[in-house]
Amino acid sequence: MIRTNSELLEYVSRNIKNTTTYFIEEKIPKNHILIEQNQKVPYAYVIQTGIAKCYLTEDTGNDFIQEFFGEGELFGEIEIINESLSFCAIESISDMVVYKISKIHFSELLQNDKEFNALIVKAMANKIKYKAIRHSHNQSHSIKSNLLRLKKQFPQLMKIISKQDIANYLGITLRSFNRILKEIDK
């Protein structure tokens, strides 16, 4: 549920000392939108600490959370590679520290640094794999079963992520989420 990428974080941490102009460290407060939906994306980001949510606001006004990003996770890369507007918004759900990489430097690293390129390809492949597994599981199991699985995998879930965000992640209303929680607690 909270995705991490220790290999990419280790790479950036190791290389920030050597190429300070490529990676800009920035502190981000809780509830700050780093990328807005349908906007240009000037930076790719790698999370050093904290958690962010990636979500799509539907035309109904409802948010659907695609995923949660933790330490080492990358976002903004797809928009930079495709030279497209952002499909989703990214918002911090805790205080964060991120490494920003400008479009120019991101592209330069992709072209000139084989290790960086391999890490980005691997990160993108893992995103596809994760989403396929998640959506397949969510379609073939009940919401109650999905919530039990999340609680088992992340015992501190309710302390870290709001009920509304978990409901949005599961694609249900807060009311339905609370009803399922009551069933589980019986």
Q: What's the rounded Cα separation, in Å, for the pair 73 and 95? A: 15
Q: Is 58 exposed, middle or buried (0-12, 13-18, 19+ CB in 10 A)?
A: exposed
Asked if residue 69 lies in contact with residue 118, where contact means CB atoms within 8 angstroms, the answer is no
User: Is the CB of residue 4 less than 8 Å from the CB of residue 123?
Assistant: no
Cβ within 8 Å of residue 168, ≥6 positions away: 55, 62, 63, 64, 65
Amino acid at site 49: T
Predicted local confidence at residue 116, as pLDDT = 95
Instruction: Give phi and psi for 57, each to the nearest 5.
Output: -95, 120
Q: Domain 2-140: which CATH class?
A: mainly beta
- Decide: 47 and 96 in contact? Cβ < 8 Å: yes
pTM value?
Answer: 0.89
Q: What are phi and psi of 33, to 5 degrees?
A: -85, 115
Query: CB of 93 within 8 A of CB of 51?
Result: yes
Angle at 111 between CA 115 and CA 47, to 5 degrees: 55
Ordered by start, the domain boundaries in the chain are 2-140, 141-186
Q: What is the pLDDT along the chain (186 residues), one digit of tens a residue?
A: 789 999 999 999 888 876 557 899 999 999 999 999 999 999 999 999 999 999 999 988 889 999 999 999 999 999 999 999 999 999 999 999 999 999 999 999 999 999 999 999 999 999 989 888 888 887 888 888 888 888 888 888 888 899 999 999 988 899 999 999 898 887
- Strand pairing class (2-3; 63-69): parallel
177 neighbors 184 (Cβ within 8 angstroms): no
Task: Pull the structure tokens for residue 83.
Answer: 């030279």
